[in-house]
Amino acid sequence: MPKPSKPTTKAPTVLDLFCGAGGMSLGFQNAGCEILGGIDKNPHAIRTHHRNFPNCELKLAAKPIESITDLSELGLQPGKVDILIGGPPCQVFSVVGNGKMRSLGKQIESDLRNFLYEQFIRFVEYYKPLFFVIENVNHLRNHWIFPLLIEDLEKGVHKKTNCNYPGYNISKLSQSALYLTHL
């Protein structure tokens, strides 16, 4: 009598924004996920990500995420990304980064990095992943932008653009990450 075959399961797919060399990608890969690709503006970081994850479907050159205006041109269709992860730059949110910027006479409040989380929301709205994780330093919770970030996440990810759009629930706040799942 032949042995019953095990059902095949598809590994969850992950797209990593602000990926750097791929630390979060590595964690998700080690958890059994398939890394679709990473996006980062640092050429050294993105080259390292490509080397660390040579089988990625998406291999963009280094570019600022805000310069990607048409997400359909990335070649990943909505529904293809199961999990969206990312850690927007932390310099404007960290204690050390704030101190350095102030010592250089820079205006932290007007620094565009404060608002790069909006790009993350844009990707969530387009790809409609089952889950997403946005990670940053724990001082972010004390930063003036945090309530705005939460409000924008709730507004952006709860928009119902069609009947297939999943709703999301901010289910857990850790020291440095927001874990969000669909309802």
pLDDT tens column, 81-116: 999 999 887 666 555 566 666 676 666 666 676 678
Average pLDDT over every residue of 12-33: 96
183/169 Cα distance (integer angstroms): 6
Is there a catalytic annotation at residue 90?
yes
Token reading at 161: 């653009």
161/40 Cα distance (integer angstroms): 28
- Decide which of 63 and 1 is more confident: 63
Token reading at 11: 């590994």
- The chain-wide mean pLDDT, for the chain, equals 78
Q: Which of 19, 33, 56, 90 is catalytic?
A: 90
- Decide which of 122 and 107 is more confident: 122
